[in-house]
Amino acid sequence: MVVAQNIYDRPDFFAGYSRLGRSVAGLGGAPEWPLLRTMLPEVRGRRVVDLGCGFGWFCRWAAGAGAASVRGLDLSQNMLARARAETPDDGVISYAIADLETLELAAASADLVYSSLAFHYVADAARLYAVIREALAPNGMLVFSTEHPIFMAADNAGWRDDGTGGKTWPVDHYAVEGARVTDWLSVGVVKYHRTMATTLNTLIRCGFAITRVEEFSPTPEQIAANPSLAEEVHRPMFLLVAARRQA
């Protein structure tokens, strides 16, 4: 079993992450959120689990949308400390430390399992999907975002000068799955690359019916409001998946 890196508890990484737009503004600073939100089932009255909940932005949104309970799980003490500090004690939201590599959840204990941008840190996705499937009640949904495999295939993925005054994003050894080490906010950040086919087929094999797949690209309105998003149309950064537990 792979030991999780817990990069969010490294001081330099945490300081940099805390300054990102999405860390300061929450869901309103996450350009993929409007699309991801449309992939969610009704949360009113439902039991929700948020895997890799970070600062708890989605937990608070789900509670505000009427969820019966929201359980936020994360590996990082730093992330959970801020989540707790910013969450009113409403009796709906609870947080706990958990490692998605070794996660255990009670059978049929959730109606919606949600995760935003945490699964690419997990080496054993098949184990995780199987645990989630057993934790979902019949017809329960898994909705998640993850870094897109085109975005993360290359080592030290990033824009390169294309030699003609433009820039390009390499997609190297796409079919070679496994660890990718990048320097983002800190040196030596480890993520796990899986092809699109592997992600979708593993979900199917683990007992999910995939109901929707999106590759986030900003809308013209989003680009007009935030021109720095324009480069996101050249390659997909995020993969968004909604899947239903098969009977």
Ligand X SMILES: C[S@@+](CC[C@H](N)C(=O)[O-])C[C@H]1O[C@@H](n2cnc3c(N)ncnc32)[C@H](O)[C@@H]1O
- Say if residues 109 and 87 touch (Cβ distance below 8 Å): no
- Please select the residue that binds ligand X; options are 68, 108, 117, 213, rule is CB under 6 A: 117
Residue 124 in contact with ligand X, rule: CB under 6 A: no
Sign of the C-alpha dihedral computed for residues 226, 85, 53 and 189 taken in this order:
positive
- Please select the residue that binds ligand X; options are 18, 99, 169, 211, rule is CB under 6 A: 99
In order, the DSSP letters of 79-137 are HHHHHHHTS---SSEEEEE--TTS----TT-EEEEEEES-GGG-S-HHHHHHHHHHHEE
Residue 31 in contact with ligand X, rule: CB under 6 A: no
Question: What angle do the packed helices 77-85 and 11-19 form, to 10 degrees?
Answer: 40
**Matching residue, tokens 């994003």:** 169
- Please select the residue that binds ligand X; options are 39, 70, 76, 208, rule is CB under 6 A: 76
Closest distance of CB 163 from ligand X, Å = 32
- Count residues binding ligand X (CB under 6 A): 20
Residue 83 in contact with ligand X, rule: CB under 6 A: no
**SS3 of residue 194 by DSSP:** coil
Residue 8 in contact with ligand X, rule: CB under 6 A: yes
Residue 192 in contact with ligand X, rule: CB under 6 A: no
Closest distance of CB 208 from ligand X, Å = 20
Residue 112 in contact with ligand X, rule: CB under 6 A: no
Residue 54 in contact with ligand X, rule: CB under 6 A: yes
Pair of tokens at residue 238: 């995020």
**CA proximity to 27, closest of 67, 75, 78, 61:** 61
Closest distance of CB 156 from ligand X, Å = 18
Contacting residues toward ligand X, per CB under 6 A: 4, 8, 52-55, 57, 74-76, 79, 98-101, 116-118, 121-122
